[in-house]
Structures are given as C-alpha cells and as structure tokens.
Amino acid sequence: MTRAPLDHLDGTQWDVVVIGAGAVGCAAARELAGRGYSTLLLDRGDFGSGTSSRSSRMLYSGLGYLAVRYPLWQMALHPLDMVQRLLYTRDVMRCRAVLVRDMPGHLTRHRFFYPFRKGDRYPPWLVDLGFRLVEALGGWKVPLSYRRITPGEAAAQSALAAGLGGPLRGVGVFDEYMYAWPERICVDTALDAERRGATLRTYTEVTHIARHEDGWAVSLGERAPLAEGQARVMGRMVVNAAGPWVDRLSGAGGDGKGRIVGVKGVNVMVRLPDAYRGEGLEAFSSKGEPFYVFPWRDSHFIGPTETVVSENPDDIRVEDAEIDYILSEANRLFPDLGLTRDHVLHCWCGVRPTSTLDGRTSRTVVRAIENPEAPGLVTMTGSTIMLHRHAGCMAARAVERRLGRRGPAPSGVIEQPPAARSEAIGQLAAAEHVVRLSDLLRRRLPDGLDADLGRDRAEGISRVAAAGLGWSEERRQQELDHFERETAMTYPRPVEACGG
C-alpha cells in the first residue's frame, strides 16, 4: 500500500473524524465504521505508539479498583464513590471476558500470588471478599480461580512464593491474563476498522480544529519523514481520543475546563531468578498503592508509581527517585533478591488520562464528554487498554445520538495474524501502514519487545523493509538511527536515565 500525499485528503468530508489512534481511538473507529459512518482515523505517530504502548500489559489490575484512599471505616460515608468503583469493576470484568473470547491470540495466562502480612491495611477476609466480588461482577464468565492457601503450601508450589519475605499470614493464588503484545491489539483493531470502511492516516498531526457551519474543520500537517503537506478536512463530528493529550488539542477547549488529570506510571524491567519465570505477584506498596511484579517473557517488570503530573506527556521521563522507590518496594517483598539499579534492564513510563469529575480526579470513571458549547465534539477520558472496547462503544453511542443510527454494532473476533516470515515482512510493511522502521519492529512484529528491544534484528529487518517500501540506502540508515534514538528515549537503560 503506497502512502498517498496528504493533500489527497484536502477538502474531504466525513461523518466522524477520530483523533488519536491508541487503543480507544482505534476501537472507536472500528465501532463507527462498522455502524455505517464514514470515518477518518488520524494520529501524529503510529497506531498504539503513545500511552497504549506504556500500559501495565495485564488484563486486570487486581483489587486496586476497589481500594479506597480514605480509612476503611469511612466507606459507608462515601456511597457514590463505592457505587462508581463497583460499576467500573463490573465494566472491567465484562471487557476482560470479551477480550479473552475475541482475542485469545493476544493473551497469555499466568499464575499470580497475593501475600498477606501482619499489619496489612486490608485483612485477609476482606481481600477474599474483594476477589469473590470482582469475579461475581464479571458474571463468573472467566473466573480468577482465586483461593487462599498457607505460606508453606505456596512455597511448595512456587519458587516466587517461596521467595516472599515474612512473616506471612497466608498467600492468595489466582489466574490472570496478560497482553502478549498490547501494541498489536491497536494495529489489528485499526486494520479491522479499515476492513469495515474506515480510512486510516498515521503520522498526520491535527494542528487545529474549529467549528464550521454545522460541523468541524480539522487542519492537518504531515509528520512522516521526507514528506510535506497540509490539508483541511470536514467532519460532522469529531471524537477526541488523544489520551493524555486531549486537553492540548488546539481548538478543543470549549469551555476551558480540563478534561483529564495525568497520572504518571513508571515500570522497571528486571531479570529475576529463572525459577520465577512466568509467575507474577500483586500486592500493595508501603504507601497503600497497588504494586505488582509481572512476568514478561524471560523477565519481570515491577511497579508502578502513581504520580499526578501537569507537564506535556511528551516531556515526561523516568526519574532516579522513581527507580529507587520501585526497587525498594520490590526488596520489601523479596528481601533476599537485593535488587539494585545494576539489575535494571530498562524502564519506561506513561501518563494515564484520568477523568476529572465535578472538580476532582476519578480513576474509576470512563467518560465520553459532550460539551454543549462545542456541539459535535466528543472527548474520551479515563479509559485503559483493558476498557478500549467499552470506550469505543461509548464514543459510537454519542455519535448515534447526534447523527442517528446507521447500522448494527460490529462484532466478531479480531485474531492476531501469524508471525511474519522474513520474506513476507516487506509485504506486511506495505499493507499495514508502516512508515518508520520502529513501526515494524515495535508494533507489527514482536521483536521490539524482546529483551534486546529489537536491536539484534534491526539491521536485517531494515533491509527487508527498504526493499518492500522503496527506501534508499540513505533512508534505511536514517531509520536505523531513528529506531535507536527512539528506543533509548522510550526504554532507557540505567546508565542513560536511571542514574547508573
């Protein structure tokens, strides 16, 4: 597929222009195209190259959805908050069941542990109840198979559980799924939207939106390398699915109120003992915040941090103090490991677009905001990759209310394609909107998530991509340089960003 010049879009008209091709934007485009709306999906980078690529990679984030910040005895004094948490958890578990059903090739199943210690904020009986409640809210369709066992039983079953520091009062055990490749979920969802009739355009920046007659004028700028161009398209409606950048979209302010609060999360990749491979742990940190040790191929990643930030997400980087905090929390759980920065393979961070609600932040609300002062503009906030299907449906229903119903909601499995052989990579690059080498290594092929982050295969794949996409040798070398710079910035090693 040859990339058309941007001016080919100039003057075109659409029912809906979706801005942002992360998990939510791709899901919204799939829903809208499947329901019969002419849909244009835009992103200033590649599919899933922003916040969706910085997720925790787990289908379900444990009891954190039900964990409250205020003292437990005050739960009865916050009925609205508790109802929101329950409804959010129900939506999460329903989405979990849909993903297990529709995307089995994108998931891996693992055994997880939950340690009970003396002095924990949440007593064992309450955690037991929480797990049962979470399963029940999902209709028991894909059970967690939660049970609580003795420390001795846990140690006999698992080296990871045996490595937990004590004294332990017990250990919870449950089964859960992780995304084998979250970036590919975005790509496949976008391609499914295309099959349903959507038009996809990556590396195209939305520079401004403005009301025009009964719709919106959307100004575009080219961001692909060695290309130039501008265009202006018209949309009867706009879905702003730009994640943590939704409030930074020029012309989308409306009443001037912020729609999101950014919450920064940092993760650290380490190589734990081989006997721990494939198993994970969920717990609460010394601050009372969710903390995890998640398996990832031959390694594990640990975290996260939870820090409210106001800076541009483009400028957010991993800080030394965040690495030290995560390592100290991991050592509190596994004191014999003695993790230091020398054990860190790489680290990364992302910013979650947490919804604001009545002047406060709510991490348990997904919103499709329709501002009366900006009719036809829908702003999506608060979603995670877990809830991307749910958020996409919310966006489509908002469009239906304004433009009228066109057709039924799409359904069906989105399967992960088989791994591409070297001779087919060039064809894949041409067919799946690849613009840069990093698009291919990170989001079309699984190599970019290997322990070496794709560096070992970059040279060979760049040659195949060059043949398939018509790159010159100069362009191929530029793409290799860009891939290395992007890798070093997005997944810094300790010596580069974590203090050495």
State the residue for tokens 């966006």: 395
Burial class (CB in 10 A: 0-12, 13-18, 19+), 105: middle
Which residues make Cβ contacts (< 8 Å) with residue 136, sequence separation at least 6?
none
The pLDDT value recorded for residue 495 is 57
The pLDDT value recorded for residue 1 is 54
Token pair listed for 95: 């989405």
DSSP conformation letters of 149-208: E-HHHHHHH-HHHHT--S-EEEEEEEEEEEES-HHHHHHHHHHHHHHTT-EEE-SEEEEE
In the predicted structure, residue 417 carries a pLDDT above the cut 80:
no
Which residues make Cβ contacts (< 8 Å) with residue 140, sequence separation at least 6?
none
In the predicted structure, residue 406 carries a pLDDT above the cut 70:
yes
Cis peptide before 304, with omega less than 30 degrees from 0?
Answer: yes
Give the single-character DSSP code of 398: H
Query: What global pTM score does this model have?
Result: 0.93
The pLDDT value recorded for residue 497 is 46
Helix (H) / strand (E) containing 376 = none
pLDDT band, residue 141 (cuts 50/70/90): confident
State the residue for tokens 């299907």: 389
Question: How far is Cα 187 from Cα 30, in angstroms, rounded to an integer?
Answer: 11
Percentage, residues of the chain above pLDDT 70: 92
Question: How far is Cα 412 from Cα 424, in angstroms, rounded to an integer?
Answer: 26
pLDDT band, residue 361 (cuts 50/70/90): low
State the residue for tokens 């001037």: 256
pLDDT band, residue 360 (cuts 50/70/90): low
Write the Ramachandran bin of 161: left for phi over 0, alpha for psi from -120 to 50, otherwise beta: alpha
CA angle 294, 296, 297 (to 5 degrees): 150
Q: What is the CA radius of gyration of the chain?
A: 23
Give the single-character DSSP code of 480: H
CB 240 within 8 A of CB 20: yes
Q: Residues 19, 21, 22, 28: is their CA dihedral positive or negative? A: positive
Helix (H, G, I), strand (E, B) or coil at 266: strand
The pLDDT value recorded for residue 15 is 98
Give the single-character DSSP code of 119: T
Question: How far is Cα 426 from Cα 424, in angstroms, rounded to an integer?
Answer: 5
Mean pLDDT of the chain: 90
User: Residue 280: which of 85, 53, 113 has the closest Cα?
Assistant: 113
Q: How far is the CA of 226 from the CAs of 2, 222, 256, in angstroms?
A: 14, 10, 36
Average pLDDT of the residues in 154-172? 95
Torsion on CA atoms 366, 370, 374, 380, rounded to nearest 10: 20
Tell me the helix, strand and coil percentages in the chain, rounded to 5.
40, 25, 35
Task: For 380, list phi and psi in degrees, rounded to 5.
Answer: -95, 130
pLDDT band, residue 61 (cuts 50/70/90): low
Helix (H) / strand (E) containing 459 = helix 455-469
Q: Letter for the amino acid at 480?
A: L
Average pLDDT of the residues in 245-255? 83
pLDDT band, residue 500 (cuts 50/70/90): very low
Q: How far is the CA of 298 from the CAs of 98, 273, 331, 405, in angstroms?
A: 28, 10, 20, 48
Comparison of pLDDT for 113 and 70, the residue scoring more: 113
CB 336 within 8 A of CB 295: no
Which residues make Cβ contacts (< 8 Å) with residue 495, sequence separation at least 6?
none
CB 484 within 8 A of CB 436: no
Which range among 219-233, 296-310, 362-376, 416-430 shows the weakest confidence by mean pLDDT? 416-430
pLDDT band, residue 329 (cuts 50/70/90): very high
Which residues make Cβ contacts (< 8 Å) with residue 134, sequence separation at least 6?
60, 63, 65, 66, 89, 93, 144
Average pLDDT of the residues in 33-46? 97
In the predicted structure, residue 150 carries a pLDDT above the cut 60:
yes
Greatest CA separation found in the chain? 70
At 426-458, the pLDDT tens digits run 788 888 999 999 999 999 998 998 889 999 999
In the predicted structure, residue 420 carries a pLDDT above the cut 70:
no
CB 188 within 8 A of CB 414: yes
Report the 10 Å Cβ neighbour count for 375: 14
Token pair listed for 429: 């690059």
Question: How far is Cα 391 from Cα 47, in angstroms, rounded to an integer?
Answer: 17
